Amino acid sequence: MYKIRVLNSEDLKKLLDIKDVISAVETAYEQYSRGEAELFPVIAHEFERGSRELDIKSGFLSGTGLAGLKVIGYVADNPEKRRIPAISGIVIVLSLETGRPVGMLDGMVITNIRTGAAGAIGAKHLAREGSSNILVVGTGAQGRVQVQGLTKVLPGIEVIRAAGRDPEKLSRFVGEMSVLYPQIHFQEVPMGGLPEAVSLSDVVVSCTPSHEPLIRAEWVRPGTHINAIGADFPGKQELDEHLLPLARLVADSKAQSLEIGEFQTAFKKGLIGESDVIEIGSILSGEARGRVNDEEITIFDTSGMALQDIVTANLALVRALERGIGSLVNL
């Protein structure tokens, strides 16, 4: 028998701060691009197009001595039909030394905060200095945490426009965000207003499960930075593929982005090649350049890596041990 620490969603909310998660994820990105961490093939199945899927992501970081996996289920109508979150799952962390699991954690909180951290990292290193106008397309849990992350790295934010298909959800999102961030002016944008909203934005964040491009190339002005968050499965797409050849392309994992991320469609159509994509870890380590000038369009595609989950979970486990939080279970 051995002990494993179990952390639920309330435990994780006490233990994790997005600033510290940003730092942990930056370290994971660097280790991955240096070859000190590895991703295993993603297992994914879509039961219903765009509304019901299962994903398993796994990998290891030799530098931290940890391996891990995350199992996530997504059911779009859970909130309305069952009054439970659309995304749920678990993260399991294992010791590379012993092979034993050391922690099991709620996967929803981990996924949300580490993806919010990823978006923050993309904007921190690729958005133009002084970026003040933001557009967030998608008003679910991920839209909320993307706003949280951006406020930590872009101190000059003045306006955040939010766009979504459901008017009620959009209004609720803007109302909640206005209370949380009173220094920022939030505006509702119907989907029909996207062309103007995109053209006014310094930073655009797309965080939807869309299978059709939502943002057209002709709407994007020079100097815009885009965080592409939603595409993490074959067939998903949020950006016009004809925009990609016009932009500087950065990914968390080049291989994964070209296979299941935002860059998959343009790559399959021959509009971009492997050499057109650089990894964010290479920018963080100084091996590659990020934004070259203020007129450049930059796109950061984060299809999500298990390494982000592992380092975020480890951060929580270390703090839980220090504070005596969570439950110890004998297995």
**Residues annotated as part of the active site:** 70
Helices of type H across 201-279: 254-260, 264-268
Q: In whole angstroms, how far apart are CA 138 and each of 24, 162, 167?
A: 26, 7, 12
Contact 126, 99 (CB under 8 A): no
**How many CB atoms lie under 10 A from the CB of residue 41?**
12
Handedness of CA 137, 263, 226, 224 (dihedral sign): negative
Q: Identify the bridge partners of residue 95 per DSSP, sorted by sequence position.
A: 66
Buried residues in 193-227 as b, exposed as e (16+ CB within 10 A): ebeebbeebbbbbbbbbbbebbbebebbeebbbbb
SS3 93: strand
Q: How many angstroms separate the CA atoms of 287 and 281, rounded?
A: 9
